[in-house]
């Protein structure tokens, strides 16, 4: 797996568009092989739907495909375990390489081909954060959070804005420390300004409303701690969420290659506190909160 990642990282570090595209596809292929890993199917009788699906893939084969593993089963997969283990260090952390690639792509400006690369990078960042939640700690740093907020500017197309909002959710969920960084960088002003802009597409506005619902959800601390960090300062050296995928409690290493020291748990904010913050930039926040409590979107999952 190190060889595959090394080849992908070499391409991702290039300033040549086709090489970057190749690197993104290599990362996508690696993640796809892990996510689509199939469990043994010796005792399962295939349904007619399974048989039709299998025949569609390979009409000349009588072999039935087993269903993909669930997330709980995936944690026992050797390939997933090896991938997760490698992500714990600076050298092989995929999210960090993707974010740095995204930074270079954004610096090149917005055009058709570059936009496609940006979209691909955003999609892969989302997937990487879901597969390796400790990598979300990257977005407690102002430089990386600012990168996502920059992509919400009107200069970028609606597709990029929508993909960025999904990536932002992936970076904030279950990580109050990142949410504090988002707030301190005027992320709420960026979100509400885009929502109020007449030039914002309808699809993006729907995504923005969904993001506001998500933001107003109650918070739970991600890491047990005896003390609390200051609420008014972005935490730059966060600790890894405890017991994530039953992995040892180690943080992603910093750019120097040295492991980060554990940071205090970020202070969580109540729904009322976040409502007050959002109310500085948007009217009728009370209606959003009321609807949130009545409809319980996202299955009532807390963030």
Q: What is the pTM of this model?
A: 0.72
Report pLDDT digits (tens) over 110-128. Answer: 788 999 999 999 999 999 9
* Closest of 261, 252, 262, 239 to residue 91, by C-alpha: 252
Report pLDDT digits (tens) over 7-52. Answer: 888 989 998 999 999 999 999 988 887 777 656 555 445 555 554 5
Report pLDDT digits (tens) over 202-216. Answer: 999 999 999 998 998
CA distance 273 to 60: 61
Q: Which domains does the chain have, with CATH numbers?
A: 2-39+65-300 (1.25.10)
Identify the pLDDT of residue 262: 37
Q: Which residues of the chain have pLDDT under 70?
A: 37-76, 222-266, 292-303
Identify the pLDDT of residue 139: 96
Instruction: Please state, in angstroms and as integers, the Cα–Cα distance from residue 74 to each residue in 31, 136, 170, 175, following that order.
Output: 12, 20, 19, 23
* Cα–Cα–Cα angle for 115, 117, 121, rounded to 5 degrees: 115
């Amino acid at each position: 797996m190190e060889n595959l990642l090394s080849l992908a990282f070499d391409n991702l570090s290039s300033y040549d568009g086709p090489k970057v595209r190749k690197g993104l596809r290599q990362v996508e292929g690696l993640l796809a092989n892990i996510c689509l890993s199939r469990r043994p199917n010796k005792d399962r009788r295939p349904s007619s739907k399974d048989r039709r699906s299998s025949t569609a893939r390979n009409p000349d084969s009588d072999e039935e495909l087993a269903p993909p593993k669930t997330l709980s089963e995936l944690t026992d997969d050797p390939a997933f375990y090896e991938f997760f283990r490698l992500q714990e260090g600076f050298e092989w952390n995929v999210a960090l390489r993707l974010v740095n690639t995204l930074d270079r792509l954004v610096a090149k400006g917005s055009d058709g081909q570059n936009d496609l690369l940006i979209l691909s990078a955003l999609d892969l960042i989302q997937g990487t954060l879901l597969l390796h939640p400790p990598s979300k700690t990257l977005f407690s740093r102002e430089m990386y959070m600012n990168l996502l907020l920059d992509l919400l500017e009107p200069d970028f197309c609606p597709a990029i804005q929508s993909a960025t909002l999904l990536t932002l959710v992936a970076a904030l969920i279950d990580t109050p420390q990142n949410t504090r960084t988002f707030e301190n960088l005027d992320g709420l002003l960026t979100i509400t300004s885009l929502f109020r802009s007449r030039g914002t597409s309808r699809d993006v506005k729907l995504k923005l409303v969904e993001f506001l619902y998500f933001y107003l959800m109650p918070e739970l601390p991600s890491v047990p701690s005896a003390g609390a960090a200051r609420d008014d300062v972005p935490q730059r050296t966060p600790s890894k969420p405890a017991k994530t995928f039953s992995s040892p409690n180690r943080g992603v290493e910093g750019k120097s290659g040295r492991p980060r020291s554990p940071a205090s748990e970020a202070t969580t904010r109540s729904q009322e506190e976040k409502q007050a913050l959002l109310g500085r930039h948007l009217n009728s926040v009370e209606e959003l909160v009321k609807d949130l409590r009545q409809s319980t979107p996202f299955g009532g999952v807390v963030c």
